[in-house]
A and B are shown apart, each in its own frame.
Chain A
Amino acid sequence: KAGVTQTPRYLIKTRGQQVTLSCSPISGHRSVSWYQQTPGQGLQFLFEYFSETQRNKGNFPGRFSGRQFSNSRSEMNVSTLELGDSALYLCASSLAGENGYTFGSGTRLTVV
């Protein structure tokens, strides 16, 4: 079956702009989590959605937001981009979270 699909794979944005990243989970998976990966901070949890409700939230500013649709697809949005937002953004999905998560290939965001 198809894995977790993230689009786009690469993105270049200018400081101050906003960006929306998309994640299509594995069919039937209802939990979607997002992570930011940077060389300095490593893998940091952003948020998790389960059945369209945010179930967990990490320690990121309000500029980072997300949502989940009724078909379990998820989007994350970053407003007023800063240079420090440059990172690999990873999405992961699970049936309900209790059996581990499958990750997508990520979206590489570069802010210039």
Chain B
Amino acid sequence: AQSVTQLDSQVPVFEEAPVELRCNYSSSVSVYLFWYVQYPNQGLQLLLKYLSGSTLVKGINGFEAEFNKSQTSFHLRKPSVHISDTAEYFCAVSGNAGGTSYGKLTFGQGTILTVHP
């Protein structure tokens, strides 16, 4: 079984400031990790993913995340945010053991990022 905890339900920040959205996970098996963003009245857009290899993952729109296996964390960061980054962000995990482990994503409860001018 897997679970995901996003430690902040809301994060307010000023434009051009850095931001970190925190995500911790629990799993009895090895995992793949994802961050998705959701704008109002839309579906989810994949920001970045960790499948294997380098623990620092770069994604779209200037976002990056670092996989820390010992702390079971996958925090999302951006050095300078824009008004357009205002949205809800979801951390998700899936198993990586092949076949049936891939198809089920377990999501965190989401973090609403609000960027103020």
Does more than half of chain A's interface fall in helix, strand or loop, or is it mixed? strand
Query: B54 interface residue, CB < 8 Å from A?
Result: no
B104 & A45 in contact (Cβ 8 Å cutoff): yes
Q: In whole Å, how far is A9's beta carbon from the nearest beta carbon of chain B?
A: 9
A96 & B46 in contact (Cβ 8 Å cutoff): no
Number of residues in A with C-beta < 8 Å to the partner? 27
Q: B32: which A residues are within 8 A, CB to CB? A: 98, 100
Q: A31: which B residues are within 8 A, CB to CB? A: 102-103
B43 & A45 in contact (Cβ 8 Å cutoff): no
Query: B117 interface residue, CB < 8 Å from A?
Result: no
Interface, chain B (partner A; CB < 8 A): 32, 34, 36, 42-46, 49, 51, 90, 92, 94, 96, 98-100, 102-110
Interface, chain A (partner B; CB < 8 A): 4, 6, 31, 33, 35, 42-43, 45, 48, 50, 55-56, 58, 90, 92, 94, 96-106
Can you sample 16 A-B contacts with CB below 8 Å? A6-B43, A31-B102, A42-B110, A50-B103, A56-B100, A90-B44, A92-B44, A96-B102, A97-B102, A98-B98, A100-B46, A100-B51, A101-B46, A102-B46, A103-B44, A103-B46
